[in-house]
């Protein structure tokens, strides 16, 4: 049994798209509405295709990934296709991620926290008798 999610035959359909010629209406007619839309300088539309096959009974029904395609389309202000990136399951493994992390610019205990803590400490101290 094969479970399919997203646009069928995304790898073949994306070959029909032409940069600076294909517009939004053509894209929607060919691929349908995108899985995800975002707006930065240009609109970014993301299409997904995923096929998973159920394994045999000997493998206890473990699922196997057959297809995992992602198409990222960047659309300019005129509504034309400005950029196109296609990733399949083989090229996704080639993507390198940065391993360094950004340190936080603040401490857990800020100046305000330290100030309020010292005030609470002074309030809670028993008064000294002279």
Total domain count for the chain?
Answer: 1
Residue partners of 73: CB distance under 8 A and separation at least 6: 17, 27, 34, 44, 45, 46, 47, 81, 83, 84
- Per-residue pLDDT reduced to its tens digit, 23-35: 999 999 999 998 8
Domain assignment present for residue 65? The answer is yes
d(CA 37, CA 93): 24
Q: What is the pTM of this model?
A: 0.65
Domain assignment present for residue 106? The answer is no
Domain containing 85: what range?
A: 2-93
d(CA 46, CA 71): 6
Question: Residue 26: what pLDDT?
Answer: 92
Report the range of poorest mean pLDDT among 37-41, 46-50, 92-96. Answer: 92-96
- Per-residue pLDDT reduced to its tens digit, 59-104: 666 788 888 889 999 998 888 999 998 988 877 666 666 677 666 5
């Amino acid at each position: 049994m094969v479970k399919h999610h997203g646009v069928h035959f995304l790898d073949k359909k994306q070959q029909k798209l032409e940069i600076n010629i294909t517009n939004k209406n053509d894209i929607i007619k060919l691929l349908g509405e995108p899985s995800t839309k975002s707006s930065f300088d240009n609109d970014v539309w993301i299409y997904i295709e995923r096929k998973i096959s159920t394994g045999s009974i000997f493998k206890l029904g473990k699922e196997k990934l057959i297809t995992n395609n992602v198409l990222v389309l960047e659309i300019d202000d005129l509504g034309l296709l400005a950029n196109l990136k296609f990733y399949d399951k083989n090229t996704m493994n080639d993507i390198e991620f940065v391993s360094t992390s950004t340190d936080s610019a603040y401490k857990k205990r800020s100046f305000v926290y330290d100030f309020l803590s010292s005030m609470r400490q002074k309030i809670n101290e028993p008064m000294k008798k002279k």
